[in-house]
Structure 1
Amino acid sequence: MKNYVTQKGDTFSSLARQFKLKDEGILKTYHNLHCPQEDVMQEPVPGKTIFIPEDPQLMAHETQSQDISDSSQEESTDEMSSGEEDTSEQQAKNEEPSSEKTDQQSNKEEKKDKKEDSSSSPHEGKYFIVQKGTVQCNQGFKFPKFKVTSHQKHYWNDEEGNADYLAVTEDDLQLDPAAQPFGQCKLKPSSGGYLPCAYAPAGKWQKTYEKVKVMGKSCLTEISELMCSTGGKITILKHGQQSETSKSQVGKANTQEQQVYNPVVDFDEFKEDTKGTDELYYS
Structure 2
Amino acid sequence: MSTAIPYLVKKGDTLETISSELGIKDSYDLRTYHNMNSEVKDGLGADAVEGKTLLTPPQERIDAMNAKRADSEEKDKAASDKQEEEKKEEEKKKEEEKKEAAKSEHDDKYFVVHGATCACNQAENPKQTAKLLVTSHQKVVLNDEDKKFFATEADKTFDPAAATFGKCKLQPSSSGYLPCTLSPAPKWSKVYEKTQILGNKALTEISTLQCTIGGKIEIVKHGQTNSVMKEHAENTNPAALALINPAVKKPALETAYPSVSGITLKSLENYPDFKPVSSSEGKKVEQLFVRPNTECSFEAKVKKGNLALTSWVIYEGHTGDKDKKLFTSEQVGTNFKNSFPALGKYRVEGYGKPKKEDFEKGKYDKNDPDCSIDIEVVYNKLVGNELKPIDGENFTKSVNGKIRIRQNFPVTFSAKFLMPPTNDELERLKLYATDASGNIIKSLKLDNSVSFTPINTKAQYKIIAEYKLDSGEVNTQSFIAETMANSVSGISHNAEVIRPGTPMSFSVKEGAFSYYIPNDEIANEAINNELKEVKWNLNGRLIGAGKTIVIPGHEFIRKEKYVVEAYVMKANAYGT
Q: Which amino acid aligns with 1:207?
A: K
Matches within 5 A, 1:163-178: 165-178=148-161
Residue 132 (structure 1) aligns with:
115
When residues 148 and 84 of structure 1 are mapped into structure 2, their CA distance, relative to the original with a 3 A threshold, is: same
Letter of the structure 2 residue corresponding to residue 104 of structure 1: E
1:196-235 equivalent positions in 2, closer than 5 A: 196-235=179-218
Counterpart of 2:207, as a letter, is S
Secondary structure of the structure 2 residue equivalent to 1:121: helix
2:56 and 2:122 map into 1 onto residues whose CA distance is 89
Deviations 1:99-141 (A, max 9, x none): 2222333343444455556665211210111111111001113
* Secondary structure at the counterpart of residue 150 of structure 1: coil
Q: Secondary structure at the match of 1:240?
A: coil
Corresponding residue SS for 1:194: strand
**CA shift in 2, pair 1:118/1:146, >3 Å:** closer
Q: Offset of 1:81 from its aligned partner?
A: 2.4
Structure 2 distance, partners of 1:82, 1:187, is 80
Aligned to 1:94: 76
Deviations 1:19-47 (A, max 9, x none): xxxxxxxxxxxxxxxxxxxxxxxxxxxxx
**Is residue 122 from structure 1 mapped to residue 105 from structure 2 by the alignment?**
yes
Q: Which residue of 1 aligns with 2:390?
A: none
Letter in 2 for 1:86: K
Report the counterpart of residue 145 of structure 1 in structure 2. 131
Deviation sequence 1:69-93 (CA, Å, 0-9, x none): xxxx996222222212211111111
Cα distance in 2 for partners of 1:229, 1:75 equals 76
Matching residue of 1:157 = 143
- Report the Cα offset of residue 160 of structure 1: 6.0
- Quote how far apart the aligned CAs of 1:176 are: 0.9
Which runs of structure 2 are paired with 1:57-96 in the superposition (5 Å)? Answer: 76-96=58-78
Name stretches of at least 5 consecutive residues in structure 1 with no aligned partner: 1-72, 245-283
Query: 1 CA distance for matches of 2:100 and 2:171?
Result: 45
Question: Match for 1:139: what amino acid?
Answer: Q
User: Is the partner of 1:146 in helix, strand or coil?
Assistant: strand
Unaligned runs of 5+ in 2: 1-54, 228-576
Paired with 2:145 and 2:208, the residues of 1 have a C-alpha distance of 28
Superposed CA deviations along residues 200-257 of structure 1, whole A, max 9, x for unmatched, are 002200100011111211000000001101111111111111349xxxxxxxxxxxxx
TM-score of the superposition, structure 2-length normalised? 0.28
Q: Which residue of 1 aligns with 2:473?
A: none
Quick check: which one's strand share is greater? 2
- RMSD between aligned alpha carbons? 2.4
Q: Does the 8 Å contact 2:114/2:151 carry over to 1?
A: yes
Query: TM-score, normalised on structure 1?
Result: 0.54
User: Distance between the aligned counterparts of 2:100 and 2:166, measured in 1?
Assistant: 43
Pairing 1:40-59 to 2, within 5 Å after superposition: none
Given the alignment, which residue of 200, 223, 233 partners 1:240? Answer: 223
After superposition, residues 16-55 of structure 1 pair within 5 angstroms as: none
Would the aligned equivalents of 2:139 and 2:149 in 1 still touch at CA under 8 Å?
Answer: yes
**C-alpha distance in 1 between matches for 2:56 and 2:189:** 75
User: C-alpha separation between the residues in 1 aligned to 2:74 and 2:218?
Assistant: 59
Give the structure, 1 or 2, with the largest relative contact order (CA under 8 Å, sep 6 or more). 1
Shift in CA distance, 197/113, structure 1 to aligned 2, threshold 3 Å: closer
Q: 1:128 to 1:193 in 2, by over 3 A?
A: same
**Alpha-carbon distance in structure 2 between the residues aligned to 1:117 and 1:171:** 23
1:78 maps to a residue whose letter is E
CA distance in 2, matches of 1:160, 1:187: 37
Q: Deviations over 1:160-212 (max 9, x none)?
A: 64xxx211100001111111211111111122111111100022001000111
Percent identity of equivalent pairs: 41
Query: Structure 1 or 2: larger helix share?
Result: 1
**Structure 1 counterpart of 2:88:** 106
Aligned amino acid, residue 176 of structure 1:
D
Paired residues of 2:112 and 2:151 also in contact (CA < 8 A): yes
1:233-272 matched pairs, under 5 angstroms: 233-243=216-226
Change (3 A) 1:159 1:153: farther
Secondary structure of residue in 1 paired with 2:73: helix
1:118, 1:180 → 2: CA distance? 39
Q: Residues 118 and 144 from structure 1, CA distance in 2 versus in 1: closer, same or farther, beyond 3 angstroms?
A: closer
